[in-house]
Amino acid sequence: MRVDVFVNMQAGLVNSGFAEEKITGKIRTALFRCELFFHCTRSVQEMSEALVRCCQEKSDHILLCGGDGTLSCALRTLIPLKQENVVLPIISVIPLGTANDFANETGVSSKIENAAHLILEGKIAE
């Protein structure tokens, strides 16, 4: 299973010193059976371009590490693709933003390993 992991390097917890190596290490541990591709993005354009490539390369899952702004940025790129009948990967979130309202409202764990592991459990927030 291919999982493209996006770490927003400007997200609240990441930007305040949460080490990139710690984040990626915990994800590698939780998803050790998956084929992981990490994208540590620093701008909206960089994230948008990488998301389009992931869809073109038929990623199975997109794992967004950030907060509500990261999710919003990703959706602004992905929704137009969906409207063009592009098959989108499943989207999951690891809450590393400042407020993480979406993750909190949908019950996503604040523990990186638990949030990442939801991909393997096939749980979908509705």
Tell how far CA 2 is from the center of its chain.
Answer: 13
**56-114 pLDDT per residue, tens:** 999 999 999 988 999 999 999 999 999 999 999 999 999 988 888 999 898 898 898 88
Q: Which amino acid is it at 23?
A: I
| Gap between the Cα atoms of 96 and 79, Å rounded | 22
- List 41's β-bridge partners, or say none: 8
Other Cβ atoms within 10 Å of 91 Cβ, number: 17
**6-28 pLDDT per residue, tens:** 998 887 766 555 667 788 899 99
**pTM, two decimal places:** 0.89
The total number of residues written for the chain in this structure: 126
